[in-house]
Structure 1
Amino acid sequence: MAFSWSTRCFKIVSTEFRLVPTSHSRAGVASVCAATLTLSGLLATGMLAAQPAAAADPAGYQNVRINEVTSSGNDTVELYNTGSSAVSISGWKMSDDSFSQQSFSPSAGTIPAGGFVTFNSPKGLGDADKLVIYTSGGTVVDRVDWATNAAKPAMARCGGDGTGAWVTTTTASTFGAANAAGCPSSLPAASRVRINEVTSDGSDTVELYNGGTSAVSVGSWKYVDNDHTHSPVSISSSSPSATSIPAGGYATFDSTIGLGDNDSVFLLDSTGSTIDSATWATGGAKPSAERCANGTGWFQTSTTATLGGANSCSGGGSGGGGGGQTGQLLGGGGSLTSGCTPESPSGTGSTPAGTLAWPGGLDVTIADNVCAFTTSTGPEGRDVSGLAFDPANPSVLWAAKNKNWLYKLVKSNGKWVPDASWSATGKQLHFAGGSGQPDTEGVSVGANGHVYVTSERDNSNNTVPKDTIMEFDPAATGSTLTPVHQWDMTSQFPQLNTGSKDDANLGFEGVGYVPDSWLTANGWIDPLTGAAYNPADYPLHGSGLFFAGLEWDGTLHVYGLNSDGTFTTFGTLATGKSAVMDVTFDAGTQRIVATCDNTCGETHTFMKVNAAGAIVPDVTYTNPAVMPTDNLEGFAIAPTSTCVNGFRESVWSDDGIYGFGSGSSSYGHALYSGTFPC
């Protein structure tokens, strides 16, 4: 193989002889210039063959991030794995600002997905210092620089482990656990600036995005790549116009020190402290590596660069570490199987005024296998709608899939999968009498352990509404289930019976069982009597009422479902939303939760009983910002019995399994898992 390279500089990397243009630098290299080098001549003399090969970097190394560090005496470092697979850190090394690599002894040799590893620095870490982590082959994994006292008591990523902004904490450090407990309640404006997109295809351009509410001056900020022989370069010298970034705005600059494969960009403020970083493996920044979603998500390789504007997120999979201040979407992968065709979201509307940010963890994990819910009646992509944890067994999650399917899900390797002992492919539901194809949307678990499912029409006659609540006994055998009881409320909604399949499809989307004990303890006024609700007035209804959400107008309809097949209507409640997609009662917050998808800006309204005895909206939250804007129709919060370190699981379902679109790591997945406070 002949390879001539005339009048160029190349670099000798460690003991392995490699040719690398000087504009695409690497750490630990010595520059050598030659007028002409013929590779075939070196091979013929055995010069290359005599050199030992450098150790291969472990898969996913770029997803390992420095997450917390202290220079207050014990000099402790915490690493976090933002990826979806475990990463071996065997033989890894660290350095301080001397860039002299030294081995360290981590608390574990492998970092699991979403896990932590800590170690005490073998070198003293002081004021105005830095920390660099290397693979065993010498590749820079991550780096953080800090100014005087910035790492006392600790310097940590806040706003998402492994992904958030570097902030000096004011409380005790949280080594080996999530940083949220030690982070300040509000983050400085500068920390809202994120590296949003990077290209390493020759133009070597970096895009910054300001996700805050005020402009941030960046003229005195600097950047550097992962070559420790390079000194940080000011942004203003690379782009004189990039002096300030308005709220919601962008600034771009071309790197004058070159960006290549297996490289990084570290963004430093005027004090020399790290603001943000991005790292990518070979091929990861060509044509670009960009955050998805724009300004907040993890980095993926994109097929189209969108410098100076919102990211297209048209790429295919993770392109490197780093992440957004507001969280990171983890997991996914796999290819679409035959017959699984996701459908893009529709009906996107505005977020209600006064909506608050998601109060739980900001990172979200894809929680199912790709195309896991394809069935004989719904292969085209209309997927999981309603979700409900079983209060008697929180390791079980019930899921209703459109076109008459029910799934009992259990956890396996961090994902929700069908319980094979119940049915590996779900059970098909029918109306009473064993006929029809219920358009199953909402699901809830009653006090009797039975599963209650709503349907808004019969899909075998989809222009006619059929708003029903069906009760199923999950202990029944067989691959199909018919209702123990069925209650038909269709006549209450004549506005849906227009002969249009679209109107018929705007009926019962969600249902939630609410115990009588909560209604009585909170002084709910029975609208039928005008007095405090007395369950004894309704002897056939069981021990709670059912709240059904109507997609048509966002109202909740309250019913007592009687054992003789009749029902009592207790009236209508306003949620303050234009639609409702799921309903659940959360004993942890003592609230009824009405969920709306992108129609209402991906929001959840928590409802309480007020001083007058009426059920009214209390507070509304958005989804974690990293999640896609999709038809996320299902939502469930795990019981407080599952709480760990102040958080419990929350799960969302995508009715179209679209994610961030074709080619993204979330495409073809229906379930997302996050956390909610206890």
Structure 2
Amino acid sequence: MSTSHSRAAVASVCATALTLSGLLVTGVVAAQPAAAADPIGYQNVRINEVTSSNSDTVELYNTGSTAVSISGWKMSDDGFSPQTFSPSSSTIPAGGFVTFNSPKGLGDSDKLVIYTNSGTVVDRVEWATGGAKPAMARCGGDGTGAWVTATSASTFGTANASACPSSIPASSRVRINEVTSDGADTVEVYNGGTSAVSIGSWKYVDNDTAHSPVSISSSSPSATTVPAGGYVTFDSGLGLGDNDSVFLLDGNGNTVDSVTWTTDGAKPSDERCANGTGWFRTSTTATLGGANSCTGSSGGGGGTGGQLLGGGGSLTSGCTPEAPSGTGSVPSGTLAWPGGADVTIADDVCAFTTSTGPEGRDVSGLAFDPANPSVLWAAKNKNWLYKLVKSNGKWVPDASWSAAGKQIRFAGGTGQPDSEGLTVGANGHIYVTSERDNANNTVPKDTIMEFDPTATGSTLTPIHQWDMTSQFPQLNTGSKDDANLGFEGVGYVPDSWLTANGWVDPLTGAAYNPANYPQHGSGLFFAGLEWDGTLHVYGLNSNGTFTTFGTIATGKVSVMDVTFDAGTQRLIATCDNTCGETHTFMKVNAGGAIVPDVTYTNPAVMPTDNLEGFAVAPPQTCVNGFREAVWSDDGIYGFGSGSSSYGHAIYSGTFPC
């Protein structure tokens, strides 16, 4: 487990070495749809693109992680009552698109409103003359980005990125940042741009289609300009309630931004997390006029983001969550999470208490079993291994293997491995990394241990153990914090991927030939070093020796987990809040070197914690274009004391196939 001291050490060393829309939480505050007839998840459906040229096409996008039925839904513009439409599909898959042609046509200076079959407003957009020619599109993220005039109208049914202008207008950097329907009904807007934006002629409106837009200046005469990086607040003259919305319009009548929330969602407030950019979620304290606190936990605005589902239960005696430490910035060029916006709390509260760690935290490495994707392996610090299976939507210990997990030892049955990372080899065995012996925690012990999961008994000892400690003298300073910055994750990579992609063996300078290493099995092991974010490549030989293939830079200041994903054909290096909760996908480039390809953040609805474990289910588990992604929080802190996620270690979301 990474301590606050080790986080500081990482930041110091690397500085020298290297140039939630709302949460819908069941069991706590159960935010329900506005009407019984409304389909679950309707708040996640957003207008994503619209053109008032020729075919008058509309595109809807589902930001959620489950499909939403739009059967019987209607639309209207500024000149006709709600009409049914004929979509390309009656169901929008998670992360998917549906298009339709307006039954009455759309024109300049028009608007579009989408309703559920019960008449609940789902979303709306307005535009001025020429605003939807060739199209109005959300830019900066499908379903969540700012509305701008697109450069083409050819992206209907697909992501908007290629239709978005290279430079987003300054006005589109202004976003609704926080809103409360609790008393004063106040709206906060934030300017994330580098220049001030005049909003003296801007207006706002709620989701009552009988209401006309109201000027911001009439509600707050001093609200004329939003400075760069600054805020403006105003009280809604229309009033705001449960199951409501705010739509922000510029001086030309173009929609700039919007937020929609469900019952009690904006009490005390709904706020973007991260400030100015993230999804909306319910806060515990309103912070109008300043940076958002992002300390909330319960259900709120479904209009522009994901939901955190699940949770419940209460902390048990001896279960002590640990607050996150060492939070750093997100690397430049990082992309938004490509999977579903929704995330589920996927374990029981304080589920991982053990005799060597009764606090119930310290779950670190995760790995799906490629041969049996219904099994998820988890490593817990202070030497425990868990075989997890799904039960009622949660990952729970497999009672047929060990309901309490199995304790692991070093070779000879000694010590307490500081078990951090794990992976499943081609032989079905579990390979676990350790940074040190927790019985002697000032001394590094960077090892990879091979365990046979079919072995009987409550304690496992390794079949083989490979000790690489001597390769990292920088960790052997007599400090337990430095000793705790070793092997944090490990991933098994098949030889077939390395050879098919032309990886150049650094030992020979030629194409990698597995036959040169007859005792290494059928793949190599990539161990992630927390100290500096590098990957160290090893062939683990059956005679107990190992071959070192060198070091690979991930471009990250630290690495907490490593996994090979057969679906994307990429090696993934994961970093927790130290690197802004990011996952770097590595590929073999044209020169035969393994290099970073693309980096993604976590879903915005998730807490910013020491999320040290990450795994993606094998591609054979795909359903409707998505498969499961799983995270572990070794501090089980969630959004803090009193939140639904407090005391939980496992989170489940979706990733594209």
State whether structure 2 residue 312 is matched by structure 1 residue 318.
no
CA shift at 1:267, angstroms? 0.9
Cα distance in 1, alignment partners of residues 41 and 596 from structure 2: 45
Q: Which residue of 2 aligns with 1:270?
A: 251
State whether structure 2 residue 178 is matched by structure 1 residue 200.
no
Structure 2, gaps ≥5 residues long: 1-33
State whether structure 2 residue 355 is matched by structure 1 residue 347.
no
Q: Which residue of 1 aligns with 2:111?
A: 130
Pick which of 648-657 and 311-320 moved more: 648-657
Q: Deviations over 1:593-637 (max 9, x none)?
A: 433222233344455566776655566555455543321222334
Q: Deviations over 1:305-358 (max 9, x none)?
A: 2112111123341222222xxx64543442444254432111223455x54334
One-letter amino acid of the counterpart of residue 522, structure 1: G
Match of 2:531, SS state, is: coil
Pick which of 495-504 and 437-446 moved more: 495-504
Q: Deviations over 1:232-264 (max 9, x none)?
A: 122234334434434443222222333344432
Query: CA, structure 1 residues 618+121, in 2 after alignment: closer, same or farther (shift >3 Å)?
Result: closer
Contact between 2:65 and 2:341, CA under 8 Å: does it hold in 1? no
Match of 2:515, SS state, is: helix
Q: Which residue of 1 aligns with 2:43?
A: 63
State whether structure 2 residue 315 is matched by structure 1 residue 334.
no
Matches within 5 A, 1:537-576: 537-576=516-555
Matches within 5 A, 1:389-408: 389-393=368-372, 396-408=375-387
Match of 1:536, SS state, is: helix
Q: Deviations over 1:387-407 (max 9, x none)?
A: 334444556543323233334
| Counterpart pick for 1:441 among 420, 425, 429 | 420
Pick which of 293-302 and 209-218 moved more: 209-218
One-letter amino acid of the counterpart of residue 544, structure 2: G
CA shift at 1:149, angstroms? 5.7
| Counterpart pick for 2:235 among 254, 257, 273 | 254
Contact between 1:367 and 1:673, CA under 8 Å: does it hold in 2? yes
Q: Which residue of 1 aligns with 2:502?
A: 522
Q: Percent identity?
A: 78
Pick which of 430-439 and 86-95 moved more: 86-95
CA shift at 1:127, angstroms? 4.2
Contact between 1:90 and 1:110, CA under 8 Å: does it hold in 2? yes
Match of 1:320, SS state, is: coil
Query: CA, structure 1 residues 171+449, in 2 after alignment: closer, same or farther (shift >3 Å)?
Result: farther
Question: Aligned residues, how many?
Answer: 618
Cα distance in 2, alignment partners of residues 262 and 644 from structure 1: 31
Cα distance in 1, alignment partners of residues 416 and 176 from structure 2: 49
Query: CA, structure 1 residues 76+515, in 2 after alignment: closer, same or farther (shift >3 Å)?
Result: same
Cα distance in 2, alignment partners of residues 667 and 435 from structure 1: 34
Cα distance in 2, alignment partners of residues 656 and 79 from structure 1: 38
Query: CA, structure 1 residues 137+393, in 2 after alignment: closer, same or farther (shift >3 Å)?
Result: closer
Cα distance in 2, alignment partners of residues 152 and 395 from structure 1: 49
Q: Which residue of 1 aligns with 2:608?
A: 629
Q: Which residue of 2 aligns with 1:19?
A: none
Contact between 1:160 and 1:328, CA under 8 Å: does it hold in 2? no
Contact between 2:49 and 2:136, CA under 8 Å: does it hold in 1? yes
Contact between 1:62 and 1:320, CA under 8 Å: does it hold in 2? no
| TM-score normalised by length of structure 1 | 0.76
Q: Which residue of 2 aligns with 1:670?
A: 649
Contact between 1:580 and 1:594, CA under 8 Å: does it hold in 2? yes
One-letter amino acid of the counterpart of residue 369, structure 1: D
| Counterpart pick for 1:303 among 281, 284, 295 | 284
One-letter amino acid of the counterpart of residue 297, structure 1: G
Cα distance in 1, alignment partners of residues 543 and 238 from structure 2: 78
Larger Rg: 1
Match of 2:300, SS state, is: strand
Contact between 2:435 and 2:447, CA under 8 Å: does it hold in 1? yes
Q: Which residue of 2 aligns with 1:224?
A: 205
Cα distance in 2, alignment partners of residues 103 and 531 from structure 1: 64
| Counterpart pick for 2:273 among 292, 313, 335 | 292
| Counterpart pick for 1:583 among 542, 546, 562 | 562
Match of 1:502, SS state, is: helix
Cα distance in 1, alignment partners of residues 586 and 73 from structure 2: 51
Pick which of 91-100 and 279-288 moved more: 91-100
CA shift at 1:510, angstroms? 0.9
CA shift at 1:461, angstroms? 4.2
Cα distance in 2, alignment partners of residues 167 and 619 from structure 1: 26
Q: Which residue of 2 aligns with 1:356?
A: 334
Cα distance in 1, alignment partners of residues 116 and 506 from structure 2: 66
Cα distance in 2, alignment partners of residues 186 and 342 from structure 1: 44
Contact between 1:236 and 1:242, CA under 8 Å: does it hold in 2? yes
One-letter amino acid of the counterpart of residue 266, structure 2: A
CA shift at 1:386, angstroms? 1.6
State whether structure 2 residue 347 is matched by structure 1 residue 369.
yes
Contact between 2:617 and 2:627, CA under 8 Å: does it hold in 1? yes
Cα distance in 2, alignment partners of residues 56 and 637 from structure 1: 35
Query: CA, structure 1 residues 549+261, in 2 after alignment: closer, same or farther (shift >3 Å)?
Result: closer
| TM-score normalised by length of structure 2 | 0.79
Contact between 1:157 and 1:179, CA under 8 Å: does it hold in 2? no
CA shift at 1:512, angstroms? 1.8
Query: CA, structure 1 residues 172+643, in 2 after alignment: closer, same or farther (shift >3 Å)?
Result: farther
Query: CA, structure 1 residues 581+148, in 2 after alignment: closer, same or farther (shift >3 Å)?
Result: same
Query: CA, structure 1 residues 569+368, in 2 after alignment: closer, same or farther (shift >3 Å)?
Result: same
Cα distance in 2, alignment partners of residues 163 and 445 from structure 1: 37
CA shift at 1:558, angstroms? 2.8
Cα distance in 1, alignment partners of residues 87 and 396 from structure 2: 33
State whether structure 2 residue 571 is matched by structure 1 residue 598.
no
Q: Which residue of 1 aligns with 2:464?
A: 485
Contact between 1:364 and 1:672, CA under 8 Å: does it hold in 2? no
Pick which of 343-352 and 494-503 moved more: 494-503
Contact between 2:321 and 2:647, CA under 8 Å: does it hold in 1? yes
Higher normalized contact order (CA 8 Å, seq sep 6+, divided by chain length): 2
| Counterpart pick for 1:279 among 260, 279, 294 | 260
